[in-house]
Amino acid sequence: MSLSDLSESTQNYLKEIWGISEWSQQVPTTTLLAQKTGNRPSSVSDALRRLANADLISYRPYAPIELTELGKKYAVSMVRRHRLLETFLVQVLNYPIDKVHDEAEVLEHAVSDIMIERIDALLGHPTRDPHGDPIPAEDGTVDNPEQSTLTDYLLEHCCQNPQRLRIERVSDKDAKILSFFIQHQLVPGKTILVRGSRNLEDIQVRHEGSSESIELSSEQGQKIFVIECES
């Protein structure tokens, strides 16, 4: 069985199961998958039983769901497809980064493995997609760098003085917030100077070399992932 032998629904479930715990401590459960996919819990349970019968997951009702080695292989392959397609759409077809997710969701089920590898070669084997998410390598390895949300960083460091940080990743889960980030050029690779109020009711951000401040809420700060710039 190869990835192309799997139904679109199966591919989506495997990718969703893998993605739940990529950036959080959450574990995949039937209830959480129902929330993520918008499907009824009974429908999700039926789908999970099919995945278990195909040896793609380990599944028991009311217990966390675990990908088997085979399931993980296919899940990571789907993530690789999605993120390479997003990168292609931005770099080659000039899509704005807040418009590529839905397009890639459709294309990832239609393109062949050969096309994905040619896209990868054409782009120079990128390691990050336009949102800063790591693109799994062809062998399935994933490089997840150490980073923290902007809000968490400020809470930990109690920053009353401006801190110089680099944006590594922005969440694409909320299209409205992502559009706001793009409007203000708060995107991966940008260096910013940041200061937070003591209770983090507001976060003041400005681009290096600019005097104009951008005000973020604590919620928005949770959607930006940063690292400290080297001195």
Report how many domains make up the chain: 2
Of 196, 199, 146, 136, residue with least CA distance to 168: 146
Compute the distance between CA of residue 86 and CA of residue 69 in angstroms, rounded to an integer: 26
Please name the residues in contact with 202: beta carbons below 8 A apart, sequence gap of 6 or more. Answer: 196, 215, 216, 217
Same domain, 105 and 157: no
Same domain, 154 and 136: no
138-167 pLDDT tens trace = 999 998 878 899 988 888 876 667 889 999
pLDDT(117) > 70: yes
Same domain, 112 and 171: no
Domain that holds residue 38: 1-144
End-to-end alpha carbon distance in the chain: 51
Same domain, 196 and 120: no
13-53 pLDDT tens trace = 999 999 998 887 788 999 899 998 889 999 999 999 999 99
- pLDDT of amino acid 229: 85
